[in-house]
Structure 1
């Protein structure tokens, strides 16, 4: 049986700020709607005041960052359930990022879905991701991430 965290305005979940390390203008997600051991669904509203937004809205290429932050929220929820502070992870890259829209319009609400395809004991992960706008999938990719056991040591070159 899969443990699921669901949200009814966060029912039982901490605020997104407690799940992802992004802050201020770099945090694009509003809420983690659900998360289990393999999947997560997050919501984001495109605002005119956000970083990268121009007269057309949020550029379509930013969809990859929405995906990465949803993966971070998924990992943060796992850490939270285990009683740990959420760790820091790194976006390594993506395969086949496709976006059907040039921009996500200001005011639009995006649903971001991520599903773990592979999680290695070494911190490497691969996720199938999608962004939906008005119930229609408009962006998709496979995203590779890395979450070292000790991010500070890793950044200082002290971890193999």
Structure 2
């Protein structure tokens, strides 16, 4: 299946990140509770050093997969895709020091909790060749109007 044939919108329609800050290549599946995305590490991928992306970047891959889930949810509910925030990470574990250029990552996220106030928690993992190489629980905040929320913070000490 080519990217054009997939039933999911392109990443740019699901995730607000652009340019070098958009790390996902495509969504493989998404539903009310889960998301599976894919990313290939390229020489020009953000933070590549010594031909690899450091393992801590797995958290950002997970967060962007969650953003794709939220974007899909917004589109399903006929709302605009909006900003969301990574609030925290718990129990991040990685069995690798980094992701080498050329590596294809499969990023999975499962919504464990999503409150009406936009606070949620996701169980996430990164797989390479079917093996889980990183996992974490992400706490997120997805207000109904993220841009207005950020603008409301301007001038706050």
Equivalent pairs, count: 152
State the alpha-carbon separation in 2 of the partners of residues 56 and 96 from structure 1: 27
User: What's the TM-score once normalised by structure 2's chain length?
Assistant: 0.92
Q: Which has the higher helix share?
A: 2
Cα shift readout 1:39-84 (whole Å, capped 9, x = no counterpart): 0000000011111001140100000000000000001111122222
Establish whether residue 88 from structure 1 lines up as the match of residue 90 from structure 2: no
CA RMSD of aligned residues (A): 1.4
Structure 2 gap segments, 5+ residues each: none
**Aligned position for 2:58:** 63
**Aligned position for 1:74:** 69
State the alpha-carbon separation in 1 of the partners of residues 144 and 79 from structure 2: 12
State the alpha-carbon separation in 2 of the partners of residues 60 and 119 from structure 1: 27
Establish whether residue 49 from structure 1 lines up as the match of residue 44 from structure 2: yes
Structure 1 consecutive aligned stretches of length 4 or more whose deviation exceeds 6 Å? none
Residues 12-51 of structure 1: pairs in structure 2 closer than 5 A: 12-51=7-46
**Aligned position for 1:99:** 94
Deviates more, 1:7-16 or 1:30-39: 7-16
